[in-house]
Structure 1
Amino acid sequence: MGDILVGTCSWTDRALVGSGWYPAGQRDAEGRLRYYAGRFPVVEVDSSYYALPGERNSRLWAERTPGGFVFDVKAFSLLTGHPTRERSLPDGLPADAGDPVVLDEVWARFAAGIGPLREAGRLGGVLFQFPPWFRPGARAEAFLEECAVRTAGWPLAVEFRHPAWWRSEPDGRGGPDGRAEATASLLARLGFAAVGVDMVRTLPSSIPPVTPVTSPRLSVVRFHGRSAAWGTGSKEDRFRYDYSRAELEEWVPRLRTLAGRVGQLHVLFNNCCADSAVRAAETMERLLVGRALPSPRSAPSSTRSPDRFP
């Protein structure tokens, strides 16, 4: 069975910092990361979606965490077709995803920013989370092809927000539409890991909780919470959710099966309201591994040695 790494989608979220989960004396930037890394073996960097990551920060993150700890870095918004604020771009570049000069520069800056994590063997994966309007079709496939060329050698995971990518219902003519199978085949051909999600399942925009294996080395499952405000509320409304033990238990057999098919499985909680994500991650760790997480004072740097990706 591959390594199962459980963590959260941020360690700097304002709601988490204000929840009291970090102890007194460890609430500065360095203290928070050291404390978090003593509790979990993986974390997602979400700040890189809003601003290009910097080499200095990446180097500090690697230095402040124990051996084996890995970072999943979320791709910058412009690289996945999301609206991007011009003030988040360097050197006065326009937020124009259609300008090849801008794109080349942004790709280069992003690659340089995560360079120290790759060099230190701390890059768990790069998450490409595509917007809800990124639907299946020739243009989307061409976009993914370009991403594959630009990210050659990276451990890359793809999360789709348009449900059609994973649709497997009958097509109305008596046969399966084959879309889910085609999506899995496309990601496998490009070398991308498919991201499974847990979210509210009753909305037209809901992504089904499928977990196809499309890369032998990595699989990712992100738990967004099951708030009914997913498509309408504020960010806090969309992700405000406390998982029950029973809801997490229903995932355990699937996650164990998934881990048996890949080199490494990342299970990440994105229900960012107060300390809901870290509490859910702690519970899931106990359910999957059958033991409590180590205290930050007793966790040696050699307790985990996940696969090192290039």
Structure 2
Amino acid sequence: MAVARVGISGWTYAPWRGTFYPKGLVHRDELGYAADRLDSIEINGSFYALQRPSSYQRWAEETPDDFVFAVKGGRYITHILRLRNTRGALANFFASGVLALGPKLGPLLWQLPPTLSFDRDAVSDFLAGLPRTTKAAAELAAESTLDEDRRHTEPVDDRPLRHAVEVRHASFDDSAFVSLMRDQGVAIVVADTAGRYPVIREDTSDFRYVRLHGDVELYTSGYTPEALDRWAEEMRRWLDQGRDVYAYFDNDVKVRSPYDAMALRERLR
């Protein structure tokens, strides 16, 4: 049976303290508090810098047994290298502790910059270089140039890895891109960005990945009950097709993310 997981993009936000997080809750307990109310969280610190294996291990320990993390790929790969010659950077990324999440490792998210237009060869090469199992990721991580104390290269288990790509340039709204993603079995993120970036709803994988950045004002506006009803209806259709759904709210500026996530999760129960 297909499963829907609804969560938030990140969990460490100062404005949430005293609002979503109760006053007096110590910072180290915030992840556990959020994880008790949701069933998935998107790790986004990994986008800005390589994290440490000890951090991933701690996050796994602080969450329930059936919890799952999505992990956002590094911007060095997507925004600096711009998908070209990425093998060494991918090795360092997977060696940085991602595999230490063990069975709590969910899909990998690759968010492309709005200045990056569709280049079939670059995208094809990048997708071909992504490891599709935890064993393949460990083998790639073994090529890492990170110091030994910053590396974790052993998979806890050997199972498939899922990847999703979020595009932000209009040129990706192209049948050639959709065909390429479908051939590779990689999901195209359905991104709600208040109309700023393209929304591509094509089915290219065995799961769907949704990022809800705000439907009126990017990163700011909350979702009305009617809007949440519409998203829940669409996600139920995907579930009925046998596809797992991962949905994350990134409208955090006015502390809407956790409340919208809990409301959508309740609708999908």
3-12 vs 246-255, which deviates more?
246-255
In structure 2, the partner of 1:128 is 110
Kept in 1, the 8 Å contact 2:9–2:44? The answer is yes
Among 95, 99, 105, which residue is 1:115 paired with? 99
Matching of residue 27 in structure 1 with residue 7 in structure 2: no
Matching of residue 269 in structure 1 with residue 253 in structure 2: no
Kept in 2, the 8 Å contact 1:10–1:46? The answer is yes
In structure 2, the partner of 1:197 is 191
Secondary structure (helix, strand or coil) at the match of 2:209 reads strand
Kept in 2, the 8 Å contact 1:215–1:262? The answer is no
- Point out where structure 1 has 5 or more consecutive residues left out of the alignment: 84-95, 167-178, 229-237, 290-310
Q: Which amino acid is the alignment partner of residue 132 of structure 1? A: P
Kept in 1, the 8 Å contact 2:84–2:122? The answer is no
In structure 2, the partner of 1:162 is 169
CA RMSD in angstroms comes to 2.2
Among 190, 197, 201, which residue is 1:206 paired with? 197
> 1-side partners of 2:4 and 2:130: how far apart?
28
In structure 2, the partner of 1:2 is 2
1:215/1:97 CA distance change after superposition, 3 Å: closer
Q: Which amino acid is the alignment partner of residue 91 of structure 2? A: A
Q: TM-score, normalised by structure 1?
A: 0.71
Q: After superposition, give the CA deviation of every residue in 1:68-124 in whole Å (9 maximum; x if it has no partner).
A: 1011111110111x15xxxxxxxxxxxx77995xx544322210120211xx21111
> 1-side partners of 2:52 and 2:268: how far apart?
34
Kept in 2, the 8 Å contact 1:213–1:261? The answer is no
Matching of residue 220 in structure 1 with residue 209 in structure 2: yes
Kept in 1, the 8 Å contact 2:40–2:67? The answer is yes
In structure 2, the partner of 1:62 is 60
Secondary structure (helix, strand or coil) at the match of 2:5 reads strand
Residue 14 of structure 1: CA displacement? 3.0
> 1-side partners of 2:189 and 2:83: how far apart?
27
1:271/1:19 CA distance change after superposition, 3 Å: farther
Kept in 2, the 8 Å contact 1:157–1:195? The answer is yes
> 1-side partners of 2:112 and 2:187: how far apart?
14
1:212/1:282 CA distance change after superposition, 3 Å: same
Residue 15 of structure 1: CA displacement? 2.8
| Number of residue-to-residue matches in the alignment | 241
Q: After superposition, give the CA deviation of every residue in 1:111-169 in whole Å (9 maximum; x if it has no partner).
A: 0120211xx2111111001111222233xx43342343232323111111112322xxx
In structure 1, the partner of 2:148 is none
In structure 2, the partner of 1:137 is 119
> 1-side partners of 2:221 and 2:203: how far apart?
27
> 2-side partners of 1:98 and 1:137: how far apart?
10
Kept in 1, the 8 Å contact 2:83–2:122? The answer is no
Residue 187 of structure 1: CA displacement? 0.8
Larger radius of gyration: 1
> 2-side partners of 1:143 and 1:183: how far apart?
9
> 1-side partners of 2:75 and 2:169: how far apart?
17
Secondary structure (helix, strand or coil) at the match of 2:237 reads helix
Residue 263 of structure 1: CA displacement? 4.1
> 1-side partners of 2:84 and 2:8: how far apart?
34
In structure 1, the partner of 2:240 is 260
In structure 1, the partner of 2:182 is 188
Residue 249 of structure 1: CA displacement? 1.4
Kept in 1, the 8 Å contact 2:109–2:166? The answer is yes
